Amino acid sequence: MQIYLDCPCTSFPRSFARDYKETYPYPPPSTVYGMLLSLVGEVDMEAHRGVKLAIGIIGDDPPISRIVRKQRHHKFSKTHMGTYPTSKFSKPNHHELLTDLQVAVQIDSGEETAMVKLVDRVAIALSTPALITRFGGLSLGESWAMVNGVRAYRDSDGSVRWLSKDNRGLISLPIWIDRTTTQGTFQRFDWSDQFQPECWVEIPKPLVVEKTGKKARRSTQR
């Protein structure tokens, strides 16, 4: 299944970004996965781990704009007690934005263990939205980065440049962020004008614990 996403303005802050919020130039697989869960109304991030995604950019690279915005810095201590005066806890910071982002996404649920696969739930959401239950706006990236439209991809949308796994590639993007430890799993990519097997990226399956006698060993499902 291949879908088309149109996002007029968004940002994908880099993992190391602090005061100056730099953005990844392309949508990370971890972010696209989260958007798909939001599309079908799924709140459990673990629900469809094992799904494979392929991400492509339609047209030229989205331009990067640099703006100045107010950023709040909250300090939690006994002395502040939830009071954050703007004069003390707000300051201007630079923020990078991507504009006119058009994305193609392919979904392969062959390795999923869920009873109802993500690809099927997305198909239902697009064809019969009344059958799903969800809340809030649909965003690609931060909550304010609203998606303008989601539908099945059409040839008239334009040619697609696919992100292709390449350990020597210059594009590094997170494919999974552990919400408990905040540790990220990254993959390097290069570009491919043709879709190929290396374009598939698996959202890592969860770790399972194998018990052998008195010792327990962790392994990754394959």
Question: What count of other Cβ atoms lies within 10 Å of the Cβ of residue 70?
Answer: 10
Element (H, E) at 36: helix 29-40
CB 5 within 8 A of CB 103: yes
- Return the pLDDT at 222: 45
pLDDT, position 73: 59
- State the number of CA atoms in the 13 A half-sphere of 108 facing the CB: 12
CATH topology of domain 2-220: Alpha-Beta Plaits (3.30.70)
C-alpha 66: how far from chain center: 21
Tens of pLDDT along the chain (222 residues)?
A: 999 999 999 999 887 766 678 899 999 999 999 999 999 999 999 999 999 999 999 999 999 999 887 666 555 555 655 555 556 666 667 789 999 999 999 999 999 989 999 999 999 999 999 999 999 999 999 899 999 999 999 999 999 999 999 999 999 999 998 877 778 899 999 999 999 999 999 999 887 655 555 555 555 554
Distance in angstroms (rounded) separating the CA atoms of residues 132 and 192:
35
Domain boundaries, the chain: 2-220
Q: Contact, 49 vs 201, CB < 8 A?
A: no
Q: Record the pTM.
A: 0.84
With a CB cutoff of 8 Å and minimum separation 6, the contacts of 83 are none
Write out the two tokens for 162.
Answer: 């696919």
For residues 36 and 100, give the distance between their C-alpha atoms in angstroms, rounded to a whole number.
Answer: 19
